[in-house]
Amino acid sequence: MGLLVLVRHGQSDWNKKNLFTGWVDIPLTDKGIEEAMKAGKSLASVPFDIVYTSTQIRAIETAMLLLAENTSQKTPEIVHKKGKMKEWTTIYSEKTQHEMLPVFIDWHLNERYYGELQGKNKQEMVEEFGEEQVHQWRRSFATPPPNGESLKDTSERTIPYFKNEIIPQLEHDKNILISAHGNSLRSIIMEIENIAQEDIPNLELPTGKPICYTYKSHEFSKDKIA
């Protein structure tokens, strides 16, 4: 039996300012730091085996702050897969290697690309384009923002990565943490819970709140651990 924990990053500076963020790399606010640490306290006793995050600093910060509250005594280590970083980050102590918690950073888990909305204020876009149009850009399955990704587009990178990289680890009874974003996680939850396209606009993920699933016999079930 494996455990999957999904957590949307804590509040970022642009969440606070009500700006569309997308792929712009924005750090956490003080509140976001507190949210990540609170999530870590709720998961302190979970012995994680592998961590996955997007390439974006707000997700990486959230993962590291969350793990700082963990009681396992493992040290999170960002795993580099190629080049000089792979070669020069080799750990030569077998004992120390067993004490590490691998953290894999991958762009497939990034927030969806908000295109020409990035950096713009959400309320100002409502005033310019109307509430229904902005709601479609933000929450619908197939409607992309101008020159950006729809949730459908996002799912076409997140779901294959989830199936190819993460589910095999769950099948080996690993405990997995994914620290990512509202839309990349919405696409994964849509897959896990078999949510219909017409129902996905109703799925809203708060910042810094873990969502837990038990994985057993190739099926997911919601877990109340957090």
Q: List, for residues 121-180, the tens digit of each pLDDT value.
A: 999 999 999 999 999 999 999 999 999 999 999 999 999 999 999 999 999 999 999 999
14 is in an annotated binding site: yes
Q: Which of 35, 111, 149, 181 is catalytic?
A: 111
Q: Could you confirm whether domain 2-114+152-223 is CATH 3.40.50.1240?
A: yes
Taking the C-alpha atoms of residue 197 and residue 200, their distance in angstroms, rounded to an integer, is 5
What share of the chain has pLDDT > 70, as a percent?
99
pLDDT score for 73: 87
Taking the C-alpha atoms of residue 186 and residue 184, their distance in angstroms, rounded to an integer, is 6
13 is in an annotated binding site: yes
Provide the whole-model pTM: 0.95
CA distances from 135 to 115, 130, 139, 191, 203 (A): 15, 9, 6, 22, 12
Q: Identify the H or E element spanning 87.
A: helix 83-88
- C-alpha closest to that of 148 among 167, 125, 165, 171: 125
Q: DSSP letter at 207? A: T
> In the chain, what are the domain boundaries?
2-114+152-223
183 is in an annotated binding site: yes
